[in-house]
A and B are shown apart, each in its own frame.
Chain A
Amino acid sequence: MKKNLKGLGVLATSILSIAAVVSLASCGSGKPTIMIWGPADHETIYLEAAKEYATANSWDVDFAYGSSGDAGAYSAMSIDPQAGAEVYTFANDMLSNLNRIGALSKVTGDNLSWIKANNVEASTEAGKIGDGYYAYPVTADNGYYMYFNKSAFEGTSIWDSKTNSLKDGYTLRDMYAALDEKGGDWANSYVTWGIGDSWYDSGVFFATGGDYKVTYDEKGSQTDAKCWFGYQTAADGTQDYTIGLEAAQSMKNTFLNVDGSANKHFIYSDATSGTHLNDNITKYLKDKEHPLAAAISGTWKSVEIKSAWGDNASATFLPTLEGRTTAQGGANKEYQMKTFCGFKMMGVNPYSKSAQGDSTGDNLTKLHAFAKYLTDTDFQIKRYQSTGAGPSNLAAQKSDAVKNDYALIGLNAQYAKGYRVQDSVPSNYWTPIQKFGAGLYNDMTQGVKGTYDTEAALKRALKQLQYDIESASK
């Protein structure tokens, strides 16, 4: 018994030692591996393109793919940048965080002029921090615009037969009038936008001149959040509520008639279940009594809307907003609603194994060239064809494969009209705006007095809104 145990012990030790020696010997083989991080469903196209690039440029490397790109990029990279991917995709609101941990290599020289010349301006600006640009734009399809059914508006007063789309400068009230004009099936149709969803409400505030600004200290943490959605403070301390009042009135004019009654064509949408914008669109696309005539949404709805409306599906820029009339204290001004938009970018990680392996910076240059290739026209077209991701590359957008995508046409039309890149928002941004939009709609349609009806009440609400957004950092 004891002899057996001893023999067993000797055997175990010898096996372990052999295993150790073998494993030591087998590591350290040949070619360096370039790791790419992207979304899970893009693996095949990325690896294919990478191999083609390597052969074409005699780059002697292996490629690997990890699905920590896009949404998971910052959390994966922050664990250890030195174990992170060489090139990776991320959503543009992670830009400052990734820069803080040093995982973004600055785009300079020829590369910089290249990305500026070849991509939608909004997408390049999304990679800007201070004076430098830190990423290559990949997609430009996360914004919103107006979907509409052609047969509901063709031939009406807001129809432009030259562009085969809605007239420039149309408002939502014009749309309702056009639907009444059209009559028939569309007499009780619905139009919706996410007035209770802060992402869409932001577009109204940006339109009337509001904005926010987050300041970071030299260490990169948020020290201050400034917002002027409600009012602006002049040098002498007086508060000018024009921006806020115009925005509030514009919102009211999207669902109220001139006499103050709620328009029958508008259906309320927000971001909570039960009245969620996406669910409302799905519901009323199929509804016979109140068919959907138009909705403000994004590319994620394009396939569903196309299958419901067929050739009548169309998309265009966002409506014009009407500010206060002179009777209400305004100047009859009109504003173009803007889109709050996000982009996917590609970053080069200077801490990655390959980049750190060569102190002359040669490897880093090669990685930048690789990233440039992955965000160039051909690959953007391939990415669109395989996954439907709207390209940011201008040439790709004009290519045959993409130019007929009606959703992207609508989005690009809106980019030309006005956008606000969604970078890091203040920490208490979404809830106050959502409360404002939802509250405005609910109270005005239910006739509640004293909250959003008079100018004094609005000023109170706007002051609270601005205070809430700015307060999180105090």
Chain B
Amino acid sequence: MADLEYLGMNKFKKFCYRTKNSFVEFPYKISNFFKTIPHKLKNSFKKVGSSLSEFADALIYGDWKTRLSFVFFGFGNIVHKQYLRGFLFLLYEIVFAFYMIGFGGQYISKFSTLGTVATVTLDNGFKKVGDNSFNILLYGVLTIFIIFCTIIVWISSVRQAYNSQRMTEINKKLSYGRDDLKNLGNKYYHTTLLSLPFVGLVIFTIVPLIFMIFVAFTNYNNLHLPPEKLFTWVGFSNFSTLISGNGLSGGDSEKFAYTFRIVLLWTIVWAVLATFSNYFIGMVVAIIINKKGIKFKKFWRTCLVTTIAVPQFVSLLLMSKMLATDGIYNVIITKLGGNAVRWLLDPSIAKCTVLLVNLWVGVPYTVLSCTGILMNIPDDLYEAARIDGANPYKMFTRITLPYMNFVMGPSLISAFVGNINNFNIIYLLTGGGPSYDVNMVATAGQTDLLITWLYKLTVNDQSYDMASVIGIFVFIIVALASLLTYSKIGSVKNEEDFQ
């Protein structure tokens, strides 16, 4: 349809047209998405394949020195007088061998079953500890990582041997120890600097993350706590418990699935409401303060910033005491003749209370950013609109709102994602909220987010398996939300043309 025709339609028709278009395009979008996946996979396989092909070349075309370095790491390097590298490779191989024989081997061998020998209590009361499933899982993951690194080192050693062989054949100079050290301080200084942080990242973030993802596939909970009991792999049964209520936990499965649906719904509703209420009310407050006729602008802004100055932890705990059924708000209400309101104990009222307190906590931040943006909107836009006869509402929706949306877009998305995981406000205010629905699992309440439920499952119930599954779901939700919305919003699409 031509542009002129489109502009000629009224709003409703435009909306219908756009909706129809998105439905029509939808299958194409999906097919494109699926087409790009194999393409990307092919690229990554190619990269891996190239290094492996060099590896195969080394096997086929290498001389005896190269072939021996398949077995003895660094042999090729030593023989070609690259002593530093050679000895480092050899040292790595020896250390790896000692590690596997002395420590890693026993855990890897039991990894598939996570231990079969249970703890036995002898007659004299002594508990003979058998396999410790937790240690097997943990050290098994660590060992898998180390094996993975060793494979990389192995491939690297072989490739270097092959390279040296080819370079000596054409009489090119190789780099020796001295050159390597000099390069580490010079050309490859970034490697030197990043090596320690990278190792730290792998050990303290990536390995524990993989470990915890694995826990989701076991039955590590309070009935299977090592060293007294063993736990084992249960495949996807935890996932099916959570989604469809058909897992191994018997009567609890239905409750888990039901609870998950309710908590998930509330999490998303909360994230949407909290983010947008903060945004709109913050914007309105900022506009009000910014208006020409308001006096003491600085005073109002200072008041709002003061709420930011108080640590959230302190203010929320204090709020929860004030909102208790015998807290100060209810005392005032009863003194004025009303009935005490169960701010945090009635399910629906508690949800509203949490949203209100979140406004109190979050609006100052929004006001600050909105004030800055508002001050940047050129006044002549408003002048022109007033001359054209626009009322304040039209000015707001046509000038202020699009401008704000454009600038605040990314920040809104990060706020939305952050609110999905907003642990502090829910846990400190209601502790997950009143739990009065007997169809729900005891650990979850009416104002629980996925993240607070996860925390309570871990700390109160030791249900590490279900907590891990919920964690994976939270990650999927957050990742999907971020990726989808971020790529779609105007701020990213129209970054260059901004009006």
Contact B185 A272 (CB under 8 A): no
User: Cα distance A130–B225 when bound, in Å?
Assistant: 21
User: Cα distance A333–B63 when bound, in Å?
Assistant: 104
B149 on the interface (CB 8 Å rule)?
A: no
Contact A361 B126 (CB under 8 A): yes
A215 on the interface (CB 8 Å rule)?
A: no
Contact A356 B228 (CB under 8 A): no
- Residues of chain A in range 30-64 having any CB-CB distance to chain B below 8 Å: none
Can you identify 10 A-B contacts, CB atoms within 8 angstroms?
A2-B185, A75-B459, A82-B129, A102-B228, A220-B223, A221-B223, A351-B228, A360-B126, A361-B126, A473-B251
User: Cα distance A219–B227 when bound, in Å?
Assistant: 15
Contacts of A472 in B (CB 8 A): 438, 442
Q: Which residue of A lies closest to B225 (CB)?
A: A101
A100 on the interface (CB 8 Å rule)?
A: yes
Given known pairs A6-B185, A472-B438, A474-B251, the reply for A78 and B225 (CB within 8 Å) is yes
B237 on the interface (CB 8 Å rule)?
A: no
A156 on the interface (CB 8 Å rule)?
A: no
Given known pairs A101-B228, A106-B125, A220-B223, the reply for A273 and B325 (CB within 8 Å) is yes
Given known pairs A274-B326, A356-B127, the reply for A2 and B222 (CB within 8 Å) is no
B324 on the interface (CB 8 Å rule)?
A: yes
Within the complex, what minimum Cβ distance (angstroms) separates B28 from chain A? 51
Q: Which residue of A lies closest to B132 (CB)?
A: A82
Contact A105 B227 (CB under 8 A): no
User: Cα distance A159–B450 when bound, in Å?
Assistant: 60
B122 on the interface (CB 8 Å rule)?
A: yes
Contact B442 A102 (CB under 8 A): no
User: Cα distance A274–B185 when bound, in Å?
Assistant: 72
User: Cα distance A427–B325 when bound, in Å?
Assistant: 24
Contacts of B462 in A (CB 8 A): 78
B171 on the interface (CB 8 Å rule)?
A: no
A81 on the interface (CB 8 Å rule)?
A: yes
- Residues of chain B in range 288-309 having any CB-CB distance to chain A below 8 Å: none
Q: Which residue of B lies closest to A428 (CB)?
A: B438
Among the listed B125, B129, B227, B228, which residue makes an inter-chain contact with A361, where contact means beta carbons less than 8 Å apart? B125
B143 on the interface (CB 8 Å rule)?
A: no
Q: Which residue of B lies closest to A3 (CB)?
A: B185
Q: Which residue of B lies closest to A363 (CB)?
A: B126
Q: Which residue of A lies closest to B135 (CB)?
A: A82
Among the listed B223, B326, B438, which residue makes an inter-chain contact with A219, where contact means beta carbons less than 8 Å apart? B223
Within the complex, what minimum Cβ distance (angstroms) separates B48 from chain A? 33
User: Cα distance A2–B186 when bound, in Å?
Assistant: 8
Q: Which residue of A lies closest to B124 (CB)?
A: A361
Contact A81 B125 (CB under 8 A): no
Given known pairs A78-B225, A100-B222, the reply for A350 and B326 (CB within 8 Å) is no
B128 on the interface (CB 8 Å rule)?
A: yes
- Residues of chain B in range 54-95 having any CB-CB distance to chain A below 8 Å: none
Interface digits, B103-123 against A, CB 8 Å rule (1 contact, 0 not)? 000000000000000010110
Contacts of A5 in B (CB 8 A): 185
User: Cα distance A341–B126 when bound, in Å?
Assistant: 32
User: Cα distance A220–B128 when bound, in Å?
Assistant: 21
User: Cα distance A427–B119 when bound, in Å?
Assistant: 30
User: Cα distance A242–B462 when bound, in Å?
Assistant: 41
List 9 additional A-B contacts (Cβ < 8 Å) besides A6-B185, A75-B459: A81-B227, A101-B222, A108-B125, A350-B121, A350-B125, A356-B127, A356-B129, A428-B438, A472-B442
Contacts of A360 in B (CB 8 A): 124, 126
- Residues of chain B in range 450-466 having any CB-CB distance to chain A below 8 Å: 459, 462
Q: Which residue of A lies closest to B192 (CB)?
A: A9
A355 on the interface (CB 8 Å rule)?
A: yes
Contacts of A100 in B (CB 8 A): 222-223, 225, 228
Given known pairs A273-B324, A471-B438, the reply for A351 and B125 (CB within 8 Å) is no
Within the complex, what minimum Cβ distance (angstroms) separates B331 from chain A? 9
- Residues of chain A in range 354-377 having any CB-CB distance to chain B below 8 Å: 355-356, 358-361, 364-365, 368
Contact B128 A359 (CB under 8 A): yes
Interface digits, B124-142 against A, CB 8 Å rule (1 contact, 0 not)? 1111110000000000000
- Residues of chain B in range 359-385 having any CB-CB distance to chain A below 8 Å: none
- Residues of chain A in range 56-93 having any CB-CB distance to chain B below 8 Å: 75, 78, 81-82
Q: Which residue of A lies closest to B459 (CB)?
A: A75
Contacts of B222 in A (CB 8 A): 78, 100-101
Contact A102 B438 (CB under 8 A): no
Contacts of A75 in B (CB 8 A): 459
- Residues of chain A in range 384-431 having any CB-CB distance to chain B below 8 Å: 427-428
Given known pairs A5-B185, A272-B326, the reply for A364 and B223 (CB within 8 Å) is no
Given known pairs A82-B227, A350-B125, A359-B126, the reply for A102 and B324 (CB within 8 Å) is no
Contacts of B192 in A (CB 8 A): 9
- Residues of chain B in range 316-375 having any CB-CB distance to chain A below 8 Å: 324-326
Q: Which of B127, B325, B326 counts the most chain A CB atoms within 10 A?
A: B127
User: Cα distance A307–B492 when bound, in Å?
Assistant: 73
Contacts of B227 in A (CB 8 A): 81-82, 102, 351
Given known pairs A5-B185, A78-B462, A272-B326, the reply for A427 and B125 (CB within 8 Å) is no
Q: Which residue of A lies closest to B334 (CB)?
A: A274
User: Cα distance A428–B222 when bound, in Å?
Assistant: 20
Within the complex, what minimum Cβ distance (angstroms) separates A410 from chain B? 30
Contacts of A358 in B (CB 8 A): 126
User: Cα distance A472–B129 when bound, in Å?
Assistant: 35
Contacts of A364 in B (CB 8 A): 124-126
Q: Which of B122, B186, B324 counts the most chain A CB atoms within 10 A?
A: B122
- Residues of chain B in range 180-209 having any CB-CB distance to chain A below 8 Å: 185-186, 192
Contacts of B228 in A (CB 8 A): 81, 100-102, 351
By Cβ-Cβ distance, the 9 closest A-B pairs, closest first, are A102-B228, A361-B124, A273-B326, A361-B126, A350-B127, A101-B225, A219-B223, A274-B326, A364-B125
Contact B223 A427 (CB under 8 A): no
Contact B129 A427 (CB under 8 A): no
Contact B185 A102 (CB under 8 A): no
Q: Which residue of B lies closest to A81 (CB)?
A: B227
- Residues of chain A in range 450-466 having any CB-CB distance to chain B below 8 Å: none
Within the complex, what minimum Cβ distance (angstroms) separates B203 from chain A? 16
User: Cα distance A471–B462 when bound, in Å?
Assistant: 23
Contacts of B122 in A (CB 8 A): 361
Within the complex, what minimum Cβ distance (angstroms) separates A219 from chain B? 5
Q: Which residue of B lies closest to A75 (CB)?
A: B459
